[in-house]
Amino acid sequence: MKRLLTLTAALTALPFSAPAADIVDTASAAGNFKTLVAAVKAAGLVDTLKGHGPFTVFAPTDQAFAKLPAGAVEGLLKDPEQLKAILTYHVVSGAVRAADVVKITSAKTLQGGSVKIKVAGDSVMINNAKVIKADIETDNGIIHVIDTVIMPPAGH
């Protein structure tokens, strides 16, 4: 339990000053999710992520998108269906906080596949992405910031 409290405290100690708003407005206000917000718009998911929820979003930063191969983001922006599949793979129905995340080993995404959740030392991993900021509260859910774009398994 002490490890859980330490991990939760470490993840929530990072500064974040965006006012409470829905997931899309919160991500827009943060300033480090420009690519994610543009992708959400291109995939036609704005209304979904502004919806009632609650949702939990594993949100890749602009730096996470920059790790993708050259031209990948541009290609995805031109392929709304594939982009939608990738983005909905980052969303779980319900409000899953850091204290809950560390108790489970997987979660079903809106895309239909499941992400693996693993606690490794003081880190929480979502597939191959590290949670770098947890429990950003929004009016319709929770955002956990991740350092890597996660991709759904082939065939999902």
Domain boundaries along the sequence of the chain: 2-13+20-146
Average pLDDT over residues 9-13: 44
Number of Cβ within 10 Å of residue 122's Cβ equals 10
Average confidence (pLDDT) over 42-55: 93
Cα separation of 33 and 39, whole Å? 10
The fraction of the chain above a pLDDT of 70, given in percent, is 86
In degrees rounded to 5, what are phi and psi of residue 43? -85, -5
Angle at 77 (CA atoms; ends 71, 83), nearest 5 degrees? 105
Which CA distances in Å does 98 have to 48, 55, 81, 125, 126?
Answer: 23, 14, 30, 11, 12
What is the predicted pLDDT for the residue at 6? Answer: 43
Q: How far apart are CA 106 and CA 65, in angstroms?
A: 23
Rounded-to-integer distance, Cα 146 and Cα 50, Å: 20
Flag whether pLDDT at 115 surpasses 80: yes
Architecture of domain 2-13+20-146 in this structure: Roll (2.30)
